[in-house]
Amino acid sequence: MNKFNKTFAVLLIMGLAVAGSAQADEFDIAMAETDSWQQNRLFTPSEVARAQEEAGAVIIYEGMRDVDIERAMDEQFDRVEHMMFVSTVITDEDGNPLVDPETGRVQTESDDC
């Protein structure tokens, strides 16, 4: 392998490593932003949110952790009929998202029926 090819290979590997790290950081930021409004709506709904639910609205919560959904089922049982959960994040015993070792992506439950 000539010097150019070795340099290119090293740069490519470094780029892939940085991209994987950036993807994880982007996921963390997206989850934090998503979690903030979803957590608030789920656990401390405003009067407007309650009125929407009483009028029949169903809120779709996406990418929430399974432990948060379990908590909602216990604490917000009277509102369960107005909730739908998709792309639920599977967590470990500590509530941290499980990551697929092959893809490096956070594991989610299948939404297939």
Locus of tokens 């908590």: 71
Interior angle at CA 9, CA 6 and CA 13, nearest 5: 140
pTM: 0.65
Is the pLDDT score of 27 beyond 80? no
- The pLDDT score that the predictor gives to residue 21 is 47
Q: Mind listing the pLDDT tens digit for each residue in 28-83?
A: 555 555 568 999 999 999 999 999 999 999 999 999 999 999 999 999 999 999 99
Locus of tokens 């150019």: 4
Query: In the structure, what pLDDT confidence band is assigned to residue 22 with cuts at 50, 70 and 90?
Result: very low
